[in-house]
Amino acid sequence: MGLFIAQLITGLANAGALFMVASGLSLIFGVTRIVNFAHGSFYMLGAYIGYTLMQVLPGAVGFWGAILLAGIAVGVIGMLVEILVLRPVYRAPELFQLVATFGVILVVADLTLMIWGPEDLLGPRAPGLRGVIRIMGEPVPKYDIALLVITPIVALLLWYLIARTRVGVLVRAATQDREMVGALGVNQAWLFTGVFALGCGLAGLGGALQLPKGGADLLMDFNILTAVFVVVVIGGMGSLPGAYLAAVIISVVNVFGVTYLPQSTLVLIFVVMVLVLMIRPYGLFGRPEVAGEHGQVGEPEKPIRPAGTQVRLLVAAGIATLAALPLYGSSFSQVLATDILIFCLFAASLHFLMGLSGLVSFGHAAYFGGGAYVAALIVTHSNSPMELAFVLAPIGAGLGALIIGWVCLRLTGVYFAMLTLAFAQLLWSLVFQWGEVTGGDDGLVNIWPADWLNDTTVFFYLALILCIGGILAMRHVAHSPFGYALRAGRDSDRRAEATGINVKRVQWLGFGFAGMMAGLAGGLFVFSKGSVFPNEMEIARSFDALIVVFLGGVKTLAGGVVGAATFKGLEEVITRFEYWRLILGLLIIFVVIVMPEGIVGTARKWAERAGWLRGEETRKRKAREEAA
Amino acid sequence: MLELSDINSFYGKAHVLNDLGFSVARGQVVALLGRNGAGKTTTMKSIMQMVVPGSGSVRYNGQDITGWPTHKVAKLGLGYVPEERRIFTDLTVTENLEVGRQPARDGTVQWTEEMLFELFPNLAERRGNRGKALSGGEQQMLTIARTLMGNPSFVLLDEPSEGIAPVIVEQMAHVITQLKADGLTVLLSEQNLHFARAVADRAVIIEGGTTKFEGTLAELNAHPEIRDAYLSV
Ligand SMILES: Nc1ncnc2c1ncn2[C@@H]1O[C@H](COP(=O)(O)OP(=O)(O)OP(=O)(O)O)[C@@H](O)[C@H]1O
Ligand SMILES: [Mg+2]
């Protein structure tokens, strides 16, 4: 009983930081419709800034003052980020802002490393709250008790702000219909900035508050992000009470999990999440998203046309040049080309999903890594030939995608996306924690291809054939009746249903197909490297694919491939620098601001303007000339 | 006071307003008439810059406001009451009014909640209710009251009589007359003449995004063929 209560208290105390970060994310999403992936980074900044301030400011006043100041400082940083990075891209297509927040993650990660160094920082103890008190004989840290009091106070203040002040009224109104709020004379730009600053400030506060418990380290940004997504999904996007309740549930489950099921704490959390979603698909306090509810208008989509002769010739020439690589390139260049090809296939599979079906997956690495692990596990644990393991990689990943897709497709929009991320994290934690089978953090090694393939050049050709073949297959599907059905479902759910298309079913199959293709890439990957580690499934990998697809251009068929090739090539060059994340992050932000239609979309526009390609511009000019 | 000249507005590639032009003088109630899809809503949105005209100009008190952000247009004293009402259904009546609240401008009536509740007695009883609990008529009143909280000198009413009970239509007419008496200028859109006859001084008829008639109601009454050609009965 004593232990039970002690653990309950620890769980409730842990919920504090989680609640603050999650409520910030939720607020920002409600008003700006941006899923702020950089939210974990602001949490991390809060911890580091708080740490430094605690070193400078003395005593108890200094300690608590440092926490408060850290929150304010992070709020100000968030404000700057909103004004400098997000404001220029609000008019870009929905979700494009995501990429900008990826850029922010990278920049913050490297700046933190630069300023505070790579060592984990041990959080200072709170003055006067060192040590433990005993509750029914069990030790409970005094600081936990303090958090138990502080969190509800913060929650209450936040509730007061949102429920009782003019700012809160405007925030809630904007969450529902921001265009109308603008028409009533409210400057949305400042409302957005204010909410973004507030949300980031909360994350910073959370980061600083947990210092005595968890300290500060460079992995905090991604580590909290998963938990926060789970909290937001369970609690319901945009609901403060939901965020609070969900944070408590998750933290308590986690604490008990650590005691009773130490091997599967992470998995346990996701099980809870899936259970909640089975009963309440939009979370405990959430409501379904209504399309068009927020008065957003987008450019009408340009129809995707089959490639013209010009483009076909260009592509054929490109493939021929690539196929001849072993004639003029070094063995290293072939390895690099294999890497790029595999990544292109992976990105193209996500691009297929997003571009054609409009489903945004935040966790596509699950199927890439999943395929790799299927093959690796088969090789490790049974004496199957490599060929069989290789064939089973896409099949396994495809089946996995069908199962996960079936659950996720109960939701739509951003809920769907977050759920895919949660499932990806579930698989990742399975792989990470189930050491006896998967090797855990040490990964699976010695996964080499069969003898006849065990040669750089031969494997390069295998990758070339399968990757180009896979990409062409996806193009083919895009122009098949199935592809049209997917697009019809994307553009108008109801109209597609009316023409007899079972939209959910088509989307489900599309999800499975994309997963299978990612699995194929994963299979190639594991045999080209000879090993696989859990990080092939982690969020960062999923984000890589998302960045690539957005940067390439979601609305163009070539976007995924061009983006992937550019990204991998760039990474190859940039990673030679010490602070390559900083460079890459700034580059991403720059591209987002300058090329809101992605590389391919922007290149096409320029080419059209220059008269190299026929399109919008030329057609308009012709029409004008004819009229004159 | 408000002057539109050669406005061309688009939704993507759909060309909806075609060299549209007309003007509204201070203190008048002008009815913007036209059939379903004639472009009335688009005209109002083009005035508010919620749809930014591709060419042409909107001038308010002599100032060219084309391309301004919508909130600045509203701050100048233009109050927009949308056709779909767009009240905030999660907010209470009082909170809806709060969203609309703006400081007074020179020469406009300064509305308070209490004045509005006097003008719309039904709302007073429901001040603590959420928007979604209101009836259609109550929502229509709330959307007007919300805009009045911004102390506008010029009110744009998009089909105020659409889809509400006759008793409430009468109340709407009363409110518009009241606004006129307070010195406000009103541009209201309607598909037919019934409601306009009761309140308007002048009429502008549009069809296919172009002005077809501009004049007093008396002139319009003298030419029933115009009415028959461009309006539904
Ligand atoms: N968001 C939009 N996208 C594309 N076309 C639109 C859009 N809104 C309106 N239209 C088209 O523009 C034209 C004018 O529409 P508008 O809403 O301005 O007409 P209206 O006179 O207000 O009609 P109603 O009496 O039905 O309200 C119509 O043909 C309509 O189909
Ligand atoms: Mg209309």
Rounded Cα distance, A312 and A17, in Å: 54
Residue A543 counted as domain residue: yes
Q: Could B100 and A184 be called an inter-chain contact, meaning their C-beta atoms sit closer than 8 Å?
A: yes
Q: Is a pLDDT exceeding 90 seen at residue B59?
A: yes
Spatial contact of A375 and A389, defined as CB atoms under 8 Å apart: yes
Angular region, A63: left φ>0, alpha ψ -120 to 50, beta rest = alpha
Q: Is the CB of B13 under 6 A from ligand 1?
A: no
Q: Calculate the alpha carbon distances from A232 to A29, A41, A57, A226, A360 in Å.
A: 11, 17, 35, 10, 17
Residue A83 counted as domain residue: yes
Nearest CA to A82 among A46, A30, A28, A41?
Answer: A28
Ligand 1 midpoint to CA B216 (Å) = 26
Q: Is a pLDDT exceeding 70 seen at residue A337?
A: yes
Residue A627 counted as domain residue: no
The reported pLDDT for the residue numbered A52 is 96
R_g over Cα of chain B: 17
Q: Is the CB of B3 under 6 A from ligand 1?
A: no
Contacts of A426 (CB under 8 A, 6+ apart): A266, A267, A270
The reported pLDDT for the residue numbered B145 is 96
Residue A304 counted as domain residue: no
**Concatenated DSSP letters of A300-335:** PPPPPPPPPHHHHHHHHHHHHHHHTHHHHS-HHHHH
Residue A342 counted as domain residue: yes
The reported pLDDT for the residue numbered A395 is 94
Other Cβ atoms closer than 10 A to A442: 11
Model pLDDT for residues B15-27, shown as the tens digit of each residue: 999 999 999 999 9
Same domain for A251 and A362 = no
Chain B interface includes A173 (CB < 8 A): yes
Same domain for A350 and A213 = no
The reported pLDDT for the residue numbered A113 is 96
Residue in A172, A177, A183 nearest the CB of B74: A183
Rounded Cα distance, A462 and A36, in Å: 39
Q: Which of A98-107, A181-190, A497-506, B195-204 has the lowest mean pLDDT?
A: A497-506
Nearest CA to B35 among B227, B165, B220?
Answer: B227
The reported pLDDT for the residue numbered B108 is 80
Mean pLDDT of B118-135: 92
Ligand 2 midpoint to CA B40 (Å) = 5
Q: Percentage of chain A with pLDDT > 90?
A: 38
The reported pLDDT for the residue numbered A306 is 62
Model pLDDT for residues A132-162, shown as the tens digit of each residue: 888 888 888 999 999 999 999 999 999 999 9
Q: Is a pLDDT exceeding 90 seen at residue A74?
A: yes
Domain that holds residue A29: 2-279
Which range among A37-41, A284-288, A381-385 has the greatest average pLDDT?
A: A37-41
- Substitution site in B16, B43, B47, B231 for ligand 1 pocket (most atoms within 8 Å of beta carbon): B16
Q: Residue B35 CA: which ligand is closest?
A: 1
The reported pLDDT for the residue numbered A571 is 83
Same domain for A255 and A334 = no
- Substitution site in B11, B15, B156, B191 for ligand 1 pocket (most atoms within 8 Å of beta carbon): B11
Q: Is a pLDDT exceeding 80 seen at residue A600?
A: no
Q: Is a pLDDT exceeding 70 seen at residue A622?
A: no
Q: What are the extents of the domains in chain B?
A: 2-41+55-211
CA–centroid distance for B75 within its chain: 16
Distance from CA of A101 to the nearest CA of B (A): 26
Q: Which of A486-495, B93-102, B135-144 has the lowest mean pLDDT?
A: A486-495
The reported pLDDT for the residue numbered A297 is 35
Q: Whose CA is nearest to atom 16 of ligand 1?
A: B39
Q: Is a pLDDT exceeding 80 seen at residue A587?
A: yes
Q: Percentage of chain A with pLDDT > 70?
A: 93
Q: Whose CA is nearest to atom 24 of ligand 1?
A: B36
A372 membership: H or E segment, kind and range: helix A365-381
Same domain for A269 and A316 = no
Same domain for A518 and A592 = yes
Q: Print the SS3 string covering chain B.
A: CEEEEEEEEEECCEEEEEEEEEEECCCCEEEEECCCCCCHHHHHHHHHCCCCCCEEEEEECCEECCCCCHHHHHHCCEEEECCCCCCCCCCEHHHHHHHHCCCCCCCCCCCCHHHHHHHCHHHHHCCCCEHHHCCHHHHHHHHHHHHHCCCCCEEEEECCCCCCCHHHHHHHHHHHHHHHHCCCEEEEEECCHHHHHHHCCEEEEEECCEEEEEEEHHHHHHCHHHHHHHCCC
Rounded Cα distance, A421 and A415, in Å: 10
Q: Is the CB of B42 under 6 A from ligand 1?
A: yes
Chain A interface includes B152 (CB < 8 A): no
- Substitution site in B18, B40, B81, B192 for ligand 1 pocket (most atoms within 8 Å of beta carbon): B40
Distance from CA of A423 to the nearest CA of B (A): 32
Q: Is a pLDDT exceeding 60 seen at residue A295?
A: no
Which B positions 20-49 lie with beta carbon below 8 A of chain A?
A: 48
Mean pLDDT of A270-283: 83
Mean pLDDT of chain B: 93
Model pLDDT for residues A88-128, shown as the tens digit of each residue: 888 776 677 888 898 999 999 999 999 999 999 998 998 88
Rounded Cα distance, B166 and A342, in Å: 68
Q: Kindly identify which residue of chain A lies nearest to residue B13, measuring between CA atoms.
A: A300
Ligand 2 midpoint to CA B90 (Å) = 25
Number of domains in chain A: 2
When pLDDT is cut at 50, 70 and 90, the band that residue A557 belongs to is low
Q: Could B71 and A176 be called an inter-chain contact, meaning their C-beta atoms sit closer than 8 Å?
A: no
Spatial contact of A538 and A428, defined as CB atoms under 8 Å apart: yes
Rounded Cα distance, A499 and A483, in Å: 15
Same domain for A321 and A254 = no
Identify from B15, B70, B102 which residue to disrupt to test chain A contact, counting A C-beta atoms within 10 A and taking the largest count.
B70
Residue A414 counted as domain residue: yes
When pLDDT is cut at 50, 70 and 90, the band that residue A292 belongs to is very low
Identify from B52, B68, B88, B151 which residue to disrupt to test chain A contact, counting A C-beta atoms within 10 A and taking the largest count.
B88
Q: Residue B36 CA: which ligand is closest?
A: 1
Q: Whose CA is nearest to atom 25 of ligand 1?
A: B36
Chain B interface includes A275 (CB < 8 A): no
Largest Cα span, chain B = 49
Q: Could A177 and B88 be called an inter-chain contact, meaning their C-beta atoms sit closer than 8 Å?
A: yes
Distance from CA of A56 to the nearest CA of B (A): 43
When pLDDT is cut at 50, 70 and 90, the band that residue A456 belongs to is confident
Same domain for A368 and A261 = no
- Using a CB-CB distance cutoff of 8 angstroms, which residues of chain B are in contact with residue A173? 88, 91, 95-96, 99
Same domain for A439 and A362 = yes
Same domain for A324 and A219 = no
CATH number of the domain bearing residue A555:
1.10.3470
Spatial contact of B131 and B89, defined as CB atoms under 8 Å apart: yes
The reported pLDDT for the residue numbered A191 is 92
Model pLDDT for residues B69-124, shown as the tens digit of each residue: 999 999 999 999 999 999 999 999 999 999 999 998 887 889 999 999 999 998 99
The reported pLDDT for the residue numbered B132 is 92
Same domain for A376 and A245 = no
Same domain for A257 and A165 = yes
Distance from CA of B25 to the nearest CA of A (A): 22
Chain A interface includes B13 (CB < 8 A): yes
- The three-state secondary structure class of A118 is coil
Residue in A170, A172, A185 nearest the CB of B150: A185
CATH 3.40.50.300 fits B2-41+55-211, yes or no: yes
Mean pLDDT of A542-569: 82
Q: Could B99 and A181 be called an inter-chain contact, meaning their C-beta atoms sit closer than 8 Å?
A: yes
- Using a CB-CB distance cutoff of 8 angstroms, which residues of chain A are in contact with residue B93? none
